[in-house]
Amino acid sequence: MSELQLKDLYDGFRDPEIIRSLAKQITTEAQKLESPLRIMEVCGGHTHTIMKYGLPQLLPDNISFIHGPGCPVCIMPKERIDHAIALAKMENTILLTLGDMIRVPGSKTSLAQERAAGYDIRPLYTPADALKIAKENPDKKVIYFAIGFETTTPMTAAVIKQTIEQKIDNLFFHINHVLVPPAVDAIMADGKAKINAFIGPSHVSVITGAKIYSPLPLAYKTPVVVSGFEPVDVLQGILMMVRQKVEKRAELEIEYTRSVTMEGNTKAQTMIDTYLQPRDHFRWRGIGDIPYSALELREEYAYLDAEKLFAELLPTEPIDDHKLCICGTILKGLAKPMDCKVFGTACTPNTPLGSCMVSSEGACNAYYRYAGVLE
């Protein structure tokens, strides 16, 4: 497909007339709802689409959005960031990680601050660059601080595979890959967030298949619609949810059929399972311990596991967030960024107190960018 064809395709998914038409259909159908529709968009990418295109302003008052924990940078607890900082400070070490992770505050400092202090900390454009950097620096310990949901996990697994096959002996992994379903289940089981529908993450679903959400409609009687990230996708997904509610159904449906299937990418799933396994528990920033909600290297690859090899340097006690930051409450669907006393004042993208403001996928970042708040 040519660049022009791609542009035409995506222009269609952002076409104002189509957006207005869908919003009108939703408004008409929503009049039949017996109770308000409170939708959690789990993924931060959806949050940014919703805010950027002003979708709440197009929809009736009985439809509202609740922001979820689908931002891998936002949910990373301070002690894990402190792990990365401690590893970076080891002699003859290069620490690698992805994008926004460098700016997230740990307990006392951030990777960005330590980089400015002279430690060799590098953001990666792609995990595959870790192989090149390790080969170019054979006298250094190169540690990849791997983050992300199921979307980015196959890339980490592929790098592990190539590390073994190419016999690279100075590349190690600190695994922080987390899983969507256990987190969503924890929020629903808690019962405090009044959610009755879900927009399922789309990029995650390309890898895992939409099947991973099938327990949710059964357990909680909530529609789940896996939608794409364009505004037309999101609105089409909402229309599908409204119709489910009106028809008294609670089912798993796929709006994003051009990329998502029920089964997903089975080759990627096999690669992940070869090198990684669920860990007993993982602490999510602001949410707490969630059993089997993250992955770790399998025991046979412990010789690559920085978390085990350098365990004596790494903090083990949980570290609380800044007392003024309500990022955890936002991630649990119990508050919105505007509810935070320091939002847009003491806490901005340039001076973040919490991870929801740092990440380009964070809810606070989205509100700051698109809700008319100026620094």
266 and 331 share one domain: no
β-bridge pairing 224-226 and 171-177: unpaired
- pLDDT greater than 80 at residue 374: no
272 and 334 share one domain: no
pLDDT digits 0-9 by tens, 315-344: 888 888 888 899 989 999 999 999 999 999
57 and 203 share one domain: yes
Contact 192, 334 (CB under 8 A): yes
Q: Could you tell me if residue 349 is inside a domain?
A: yes
Number of domains making up the chain: 2
226 and 354 share one domain: no
pLDDT digits 0-9 by tens, 154-201: 999 999 999 999 999 999 999 999 999 999 999 999 989 999 999 999
345 and 290 share one domain: no
Assigned token pair, 323: 């007392």
Ordered DSSP codes for 22-61: HHHHHHHHHTT-SS-EEEEEEEHHHHHHHHHTTHHHHS-T
How far is it, in rounded angstroms, from Cα 347 to Cα 363? 13
Question: To the nearest whole number, what is the mean pLDDT of the chain?
Answer: 93
Q: Which residues contact 330 (CB under 8 A, 6 or more apart)?
A: 67, 286, 336, 337, 339, 340, 356, 363, 364
316 and 170 share one domain: yes
177 and 123 share one domain: yes
49 and 154 share one domain: yes
Contact 364, 47 (CB under 8 A): no
Range with lowest mean pLDDT among 9-18, 262-271, 350-359: 9-18
Percent of the chain with pLDDT over 70: 96
Q: Could you tell me if residue 27 is inside a domain?
A: no
Q: Could you tell me if residue 15 is inside a domain?
A: no
95 and 64 share one domain: yes
Q: For 179-213, give one letter per residue: b (16+ CB within 10 A) or e.
A: bbbbbbbbbbeeeebebbbbbbbbbbbbbbbbebb
How far is it, in rounded angstroms, from Cα 240 to Cα 26? 9
Assigned token pair, 321: 């967030």
Q: Could you tell me if residue 1 is inside a domain?
A: no
